[in-house]
Structure 1
Amino acid sequence: MSSSSMNVVPILKLSVLALSLLHISSAYADSTTVKAYTHTTDDEPHIRLPEIVVYAKPSSTDALGKAASINQKLINSKQVASSDTATILTKIPGLNVQSAGGISNLPVMRGLADNRLRVLVDGVDSIASCPNSMNSPLSYIAPSSVDETTVYAGVTPVSVGGNSIGGTIVVETAEPVFSTDSDILTLGEIGTFYRSNGDAYGANLSTTAANDQLSLTYKGSFAQADNYKAGGNFKSYTQTGNPNKTLAKDEVGSTAYESKNQSLDIAYKNGNHLLQGTYLWQNVPKELYPNQRMDMLDNQLDRINLRYQGELNWGQLEAQAYHEDVDHYMNFGEDKQFLYGAAKGMPMSTNSKTIGTNLKAIVDLAEQGTLNIGAEYQDYTLDDTWAASGNGMMSPNKFQNINNGQRQRISIYGEWEKDISPEWTTQLGTRYENVRTSADEVHGYQVGGQNNMTNQLRDSANFNASDRSTTDHNIDVTAIARYNIDAQKTLELGLSHKERTPSLYERYTWSTWPMAAVMNNTVGDGNGYFGDPNLSPEKSNTLSATLDWRADDDSWGIKATPYYSYIDDYVDAVQWNRMTNTAAGTQTTNQYNVLRYTNQDAEIYGIDISANRELAANTWGYWDIVGSLSYTKGENKDSGSDLYNIMPFNGSVALNRENNGWTNQIEVVGVAAKKDVSTPRNEIKTAGYGLLNLSTGYQFKEVAIEAGIDNVFDKNYALPLGGAYMGQGRTMSMNKEIDGSSNWGTSVPGVGRSFYIGVNYKF
């Protein structure tokens, strides 16, 4: 950080303290849709912008199967406290995150994460191109670029589902704006933020020039941070494996990051037709990972996205084509040991290309309801190679982790929705997907000799002799019905069958050698994994019900959703004996192991509850309280083990106040102890904890200020979905001891006390 930047830090900290003492609470959410309140008074300051027209897309407010949505106002307020889009979504009950890098946390929805969820960003179905899922789909969009996010959990309409069993997250940037006449309209906004813990700071800029037919928008943002500190000492050692660097016992190694995003959007409107083209460029020169043995030291995305939307006399038509290139590089960051004898690091490169097209039509059938039909195509190619390093076991050739991996997906779907009576609305949908995966032959660092220690020759020969091309015929069927019991109560019932083809990393990673296997880990538990070309698709059958009960005047409400899923051929993992190349007969505990992906059966069930209550509206402002509770239980029916990374019972309650431009909040978050853990993975148990968060914001004409304190009491706690701490030292060790100090059994801790402040100006 520059000296000029350092001079600003004390001023920012004082500003945070002053604002936090002035007000303590903020009104943001109701129980059905996480949205910003618009309670205003005549003398309240408002943002004054030029007269514009927004090309509106169909509203999803009453969409069947929708769990919740978050709009731009809430996103803008929460991005000051986090640069990670997935973390902001945790304001939705039942949605959590699996820890990863500072901008790449993986959303977890009712016990299912990563490839089991579909994430659509402006219609683009992106795939993580990394053996550790470091470049997750939501990491490619900065919070400042998000306009609205809609979450479908469990029983998901087939029109937004596909190759997923857990649900869908639909993220949309702002629709293009146009002027009301041929005059040129210019507008935009600029924002900046600072967070004390980790010395994080960043900025965002967007600007638009448009007339009544053409709109041009540029967006840019950057964010960076150093390692954050926990609420207290969580480890007993300070070594990093680098002789000139140590980390304090409360510093969480490998949590620093730097990210840069730019996009250019051109839109043309002619009557009821819109043609839009977007170029997105992202570069992440550094994102370190506290629960992985490697770090991401460069990642570049280039994406072109073309979209058409039209209102026709029979309904709506949408068409899309996109192309995406990803160049990804991993090695040991500055907090991890770099030299291993003659080997200088372990360079790993991943490259992928994605081509996709989508065609969708919503046909108005008048009294017969609406018909939503569509077709999708996606071609994804992946190469994952590790260059030779030194003259030992990581030489003399490159290691082909996945060679020319391919996944081609062709989908068609139909979805019919109808109000069959004033009380009943029904939706029936079916989707068929043809998914073909394949990979070419591979070899390890060594292609000759005995390989007795590493088994690279044996494993590559077995893999090359296997059938590495599979075609899956996946079927999704969904039925949803909503019944309006009376003016206050609504009941929604859902039943679905969903199927998902395993990822390329689940099918085509091949080495049992621990040093190679630990590089293939998408869950951050410290273990090593390798795949099985014969894995079958997962098949999930889900039943859910949602009761929404609220007052006639909307002064209070409660929403409860119990759910149950049984998953055939769930892709779990078993401990592996690499010497006999068979499943381990005896489970090895209290250490990291090599595991193989395998099909087993599983069940997941739980309930999400949210509620809100207006308290008062007086001269002191508008007051309300909101809260949520979530419980999830997952079990492997074959092994009897609990499933990995299931969030324990948790909840939150927030007291909100809004008055004349001020929005304030006191929030308490509570999480129970994690006692149900995955036995094959030797998952770490965590203790329960409670956190107090304070936030405040003020809107003054075109300027918005947000500030707050997270973890007010500087609580030292372990993240239940944080995984195993791998943030520093000799991370390639499979044993308990790292740099002479015990690392086994240490979970990644949460962030300690953090002050934050952000300013946003619209012009």
Structure 2
Amino acid sequence: MNTSLKTILTASVASLFPLGAAQASEPATSGQPDTVLIQAKKISAPNVDGTSQAAALSASSDSAALLRDVPGVSLYGAGGVSSLPAIHGLADDRLRTQVDGMNLISACANHMNPPLSYIDPSHIGSIQVLNGIGPVSNGGDSIGGTIRVNSPDPEFAMAGEMLRKGQAGAFYRSNGHAHGVNLNATHASDAWSINYAGSLSEAGNIVAASPFKVVSQGNGGKPGLAGDVIGSSAYKSENQSLQMAIRNASQLLELKLGLQNIPYQGFPNQRMDMTGNRSEQLNLRYKGDYAWGQLEARLYHEHTRHSMNFGDDKQFWYGNAPGMPMDTEGKNSGTLLRAGLPLSERDQLNLGIEYQRYRMNDWWSASGTGMMMAPGTFVNIADGQRDRFGMFVEWEANWNPNWFSQIGLRAERVSMNSGPVAGYNAMAYGNPASPLSVPGAFNAANRQRADHNLDFTAVARYTPDSSFSIDGGYAMKTRSPNLYERYTWATSNTMVMNMNNWYGDGNGYAGNLNLKPEIAHTLSATFDWHSANPDQWQFKIAPYYTDVHDYIDAVPCSAASKICPGRKDGFLNLSLSNQNARLYGMDVSASALLLSTEKYGQFLGNAVLNFLHARNKDTGSGLYNIMPLNAKLSLTQHLGHWNTTAEIQMAAAKTDISAVRREMTTPGYTLLNLRSSYTWKQWRFDAGIDNLFNRFYRNPLGGAYLGQGATMGQGVPSGIVVPGMGRSLYAGMQLKF
């Protein structure tokens, strides 16, 4: 960009924000997420940054909700603590989501336990979002980007002293009568540290602003649901962690133990509900500074035991079959070794190797005595195996005070396999020993796969002066299919196909052994104008373009050489195939200090606008679950101990949809949210109202409503989008001690 053009643009932006800008965020307090989004060293995600608001801990129990203000990030609707973030339209396993350095994997045919559901918002110390051109050292087996969630670093006392501190909190939300408590306590010397964190959150069904479906008659003598109640949206979640660390002048050894128990969690856009999710985690990390550079090593293991069945709002008995128990067990182990080697004052080399071993079994025990779900066990995935081994190298160069560059290469081998499968019985589902049957053909096929994947990034940053910078570059990223995409096999009847749906669209799915890895080519840039003092004003424009070869999308069964039963209930039975896709858009964000007086305090404005266009190049159809044009405007006042925010949330109508899935359109909407906080000594109080005017709206990423009734039968009405939540008042408090 030439100097004259930069001067004109800078002057134009300054005229829009004459008094400067700052992030419209509330001051962080100990025990809260101090910085939920942190720019990585030098170059990370130049077009997604921001800070978290501590009030979010009272407003939501879903950790993914902490990302709702980040440009380019949207959230797929799911359970109350299990929404799935998307970066520029790419979500779920297309993102690398790490919790305390662990690469967690959803062990569920409906993806009810995504990685971010394994940590409570009150346990989070920082979140880092890296888009599709993020460093290869933080990626691997993903094409959309990386989300890194970390609990707070261990705290130590001053030399010769002892540190004892803690925090306790509680919240209540009117819609769904959600309530919860959290506790955090630390005991440390200057050489060792112990921390405990625990949380409990619970909620009933939430309510929309107005009726959106027929009043239900109830199941098994239970009361029915009113027309405005969003069925299967209740949940209960318990999380505990214990952190122990020792250190000396240049080294740190840290051990984290985690335990999660979710006794139940309803899913309004799934035919089943979670009836249990228990996870145990062990995470060991070492960091050391040496004369030659920095060394980091990590070893982790996570075990998940997951169960699904019909919750209270869904029909439990089908003939003589009491429910449909579904079970999954996942074992996830990994190790990482990385080093940072300063080569000169200008150059640094980052090297690393990584290994992940994943094993999963997915089985459905018999129910009743009929032919549909008895007498044997339905084997959905047997001894599923997915192992990743990767190596990366990155070169960073600070060429001069104005220029920085980073080039990285990552090579991975992803090997996958699974064992023989079987239906409930041979008569209805086929003889697993006969290659002429559906399970028999799967068992006879070569199920072993090995993908050799490459990632490459080249990014740079140019900073001509203290008020302007440009950064961006190119990336090629590769992702192999997950176990469900490759190895779910059943096409015998609609019931079993319905059970494999990690999209929330109400359709039934079967995997495809012949899927190839997705390869994404991304160009992205960020133009950042800001005042010399970053607390005054800032304006960012971040365009991006992604072309995905062999994009895994839904197709009619015949297109994947499968024979699936037809349907007359408004939904479809589908399979998966490699196609090609294109996604492009722009994130715009601005912040400004609008007024600063001694009497009225500071008034800060913040604005975010997201535009995304995504299309399947082979079919010409839109891609699934793409957020339409949306914007958020907020005005925050800081006055003494008070911080008060008024926020307007807007979304355009969603008309560009995935035709093959029969995705539904949604109208546009505008919501007003209010929140305020007060800090006094060791206390912090939060209160707010979401959807102040109780506007009814359909969530563009909410999926198909399947929250009640005979979800396994033909009577579930199609064409209903899960609506957004109606008015909700909330309050919370935190006490430091």
TM-score interval, smaller chain: over 0.9
Query: Match for 1:313 among 282, 286, 291?
Result: 291
Q: Quick check: 1:507 aligned with 2:486?
A: yes
SS in 2 for 1:180: coil
Correspondence 1:675-690 to 2 at 5 A: 675-690=655-670
Counterpart position of 2:448: 469
Q: Check 1:583–1:227 CA distance in 2 against 1; reply closer, same or farther (3 A cut).
A: closer
**1:451/1:316 Cα in 2 relative to 1: closer, same or farther (>3 Å)?**
closer
Q: Which residue of 2 is the match for residue 408 of structure 1?
A: 387
State the shift of 1:590 in Å.
7.7
Name the aligned partner's letter for residue 98 of structure 1.
Y
Per-residue Cα deviation, 1:566-588 (whole angstroms, up to 9, x for no partner): 1000000112259993589xx98
RMSD: 2.3
Give the whole-Å Cα distance in 1 for the aligned partners of 2:121 and 2:192. Answer: 26
Quick one: distance in 2 between partners of 1:322 and 1:540? 29
Which residues of 2 match residues 228-267 of structure 1 at below 5 A?
A: 228-267=206-245
Once the two structures are superposed, the pairs formed by residues 574-723 of structure 1 within 5 Å of their partners are 574-576=555-557, 581-582=562-563, 591-618=570-597, 619-723=599-703
Matched residue of 1:163: which SS? coil
Counterpart in 2 of 1:571?
Answer: 552
Asked if residue 547 in structure 1 is aligned to residue 521 in structure 2, the reply is no
Q: How many Å separate the matches in 1 of 2:151 and 2:159?
A: 24
Which among 331, 334, 351 is matched to residue 373 of structure 1? Answer: 351
Specify the alignment match of 1:484 in structure 2. Answer: 463
Alignment length (residue pairs): 707
Deviates more, 1:570-579 or 1:375-384: 570-579
Shift in Å, 1:36: 4.5
Q: Does 1:124 align with 2:102?
A: yes
1:345 partner letter? G
Distance of 1:579 and 1:629 partners within structure 2: 38
Q: Counterpart in 1 of 2:263?
A: 285
Whether the aligned pair in 2 keeps the contact of 1:31 and 1:610 (CA below 8 Å) is no
Q: Is the Cα contact below 8 Å between 2:123 and 2:197 reproduced in 1?
A: yes
Partner of residue 556, structure 1: 537
Partners of 1:34 and 1:68 within 8 A in 2: no
Q: Is the 8 A contact 1:361 1:372 kept in 2?
A: yes
AA in 2 matched with 1:381: R
1:68-87 residue pairs with structure 2 within 5 A? Answer: 68-69=48-49, 74-87=52-65
Shift in Å at residue 458 of structure 1? Answer: 2.1
SS in 1 for 2:575: strand
Aligned-pair distance for 1:545?
1.1
Residue by residue, what CA displacement relative to the aligned partner does 1:117-175 show, whole Å, maximum 9, x if unpaired?
A: 00111100000000011011000000000011110112111010100000000111111
> Using a 3 Å threshold, how does the CA distance of structure 1 residues 414 and 577 change in structure 2: closer, same or farther?
closer
Do the aligned partners of 2:385 and 2:417 also contact (CA within 8 Å) in 1? Answer: yes
- Secondary structure, aligned partner of 1:179: coil
Give the distance between the partners of 1:187 and 1:138, measured in 2 at CA: 27
Q: Quote the Cα distance in structure 2 between the aligned partners of 1:481 and 1:558.
A: 20
Q: Sort the Cα spacing of 1:327 and 1:679 in 2 relative to 1 into closer, same or farther, 3 A.
A: same
Provide the residue aligned with 1:14 in structure 2.
Answer: none
CA contact (8 A) 2:395 2:406 kept: yes
**Cα distance between partner residues in 2 of 1:32 and 1:419:** 28
CA change 1:338–1:577 in 2 (3 A) is farther
Residue identity opposite 1:430 in structure 2: L
C-alpha separation between the residues in 2 aligned to 1:759 and 1:494? 44
User: How far 1:607 sits from its partner (Å)?
Assistant: 0.5
Is 1:142 matched up with 2:123? no
Q: Alignment partner of 2:54: what SS?
A: helix
Contact map agreement 1:34 1:70 (CA 8 A) in 2: no
Q: Which runs of at least 4 in structure 1 moved beyond 4 Å after TM superposition? A: 30-38, 448-452, 577-580, 587-590
State the identity as a percent: 44
In 2, Cα distance between equivalents of 1:643 and 1:760: 42
Q: Match for 2:464: what amino acid?
A: I
Structure 1 residues 579, 356: closer, same or farther in 2, change over 3 A? closer
How far apart are the structure 1 equivalents of 2:39 and 2:698? Answer: 40
Task: Report Cα offsets for 1:601-660 as digits up to 9, x if no partner.
Answer: 111111111001111110200111000000111111111111000000000000011011
Q: Give CA deviations for 1:700-727 in whole Å, capped at 9, x if unaligned.
A: 1110111100000001111000000000
AA paired with 1:709? I
Q: CA deviation at 1:422?
A: 2.3
1:66: how far off? 4.3
Distance 1:625 1:408 in 2: 47
The answer on whether the counterparts of 2:24 and 2:606 sit within 8 Å (CA) in structure 1 is no
Q: Name the SS of the counterpart of 2:271 in structure 1.
A: coil
| Unmatched tracts of structure 1, length 5 or more | 1-29, 39-45, 49-53
Give distance in 2, aligned partners of 1:505 and 1:579.
Answer: 15
Query: Unmatched 5+ residue regions in structure 2?
Result: 1-19
Pair 755,456 (structure 1): closer, same or farther in 2 beyond 3 Å = farther
Residue type of the alignment partner of 1:520: N
**Residues 552 and 590 of structure 1, relative CA distance in 2, 3 Å threshold:** farther
Does the C-alpha gap of structure 1 residues 422 and 198 become closer, same or farther in structure 2, counting only changes over 3 Å? same
Residue of structure 2 in register with 1:440 after alignment: 419
Q: Is the 8 A contact 1:267 1:277 kept in 2?
A: yes
> SS of 1:680's equivalent?
helix
Give me the whole-angstrom Cα distance separating, in 2, the residues matched to 1:194 and 1:253.
20
Alpha-carbon offset, residue 366 of structure 1: 2.2
Alignment of 1:9-408 (within 5 A): 36=26, 60=40, 62-69=42-49, 74-392=52-370, 393-408=372-387
TM-score, normalised on structure 2? Answer: 0.93
Q: Which amino acid aligns with 2:380?
A: N
Name the CA distance, whole Å, in 2 between partners of 1:324 and 1:288. 24
- Other-structure match for 2:4: none
Structure 1 counterpart of 2:720, from 746, 749, 752: 746
Letter paired with 1:724: A
Q: Which residue of 2 aligns with 1:423?
A: 402
Cα gap change, 1:190 to 1:659, in 2 (>3 Å):
same
Letter in 2 for 1:561: A
Answering whether residue 737 of structure 2 is matched by residue 758 of structure 1, we say no
Q: 1:509 and 1:163, CA in 2 relative to 1: closer, same or farther beyond 3 A?
A: same
Q: For the residues of structure 1 that align with 2:261 and 2:250, how far apart are their CA atoms?
A: 36
What CA distance in whole angstroms lies between the structure 2 residues aligned with 1:534 and 1:612?
A: 48
Cα-to-partner distance string for 1:388-426 (whole Å, 9 max, x where unaligned): 111121111100000000001001001111111222110
- In structure 2, the partner of 1:21 is none
The whole-number CA distance in structure 1 between the counterparts of 2:527 and 2:27 is 23
**Structure 2 vs 1, CA of residues 242 and 690 (structure 1 numbering), >3 Å: closer, same or farther?**
farther
The one-letter amino acid of 1:114's match is D
**Which letter does structure 1 place at the counterpart of 2:425?**
Q
Classify the secondary structure of the residue corresponding to 1:80: helix
TM-score (norm 1): 0.90
Q: 2:446 and 2:244 mapped to 1: Cα distance? A: 46
Q: What amino acid maps onto 1:187 in structure 2?
A: K
Q: Matched residues in 1 for 2:240 and 2:314: separation?
A: 31
- Mark the CA change 1:59 to 1:608 in structure 2 (over 3 Å): closer, same or farther: closer
Distance of aligned partners of 1:34 and 1:111 in 2 relative to their CA distance in 1, 3 Å threshold: farther
Q: 1:525 to 1:32 in 2, by over 3 A?
A: farther
Q: Matches of 2:560 and 2:657 in 1, distance apart?
A: 27
Matches of 1:667 and 1:613 in 2, distance apart?
15
Deviation at 1:240, TM superposition (A): 3.9
- Secondary structure, aligned partner of 2:108: coil
Q: What is the letter of the counterpart of residue 393 of structure 2?
A: G
Give per-residue Cα distances to partners, 1:503-553, cap 9 Å, x unaligned: 000000001121111111111000011111111000000001110011233
Q: Is the 8 A contact 1:223 1:259 kept in 2?
A: yes
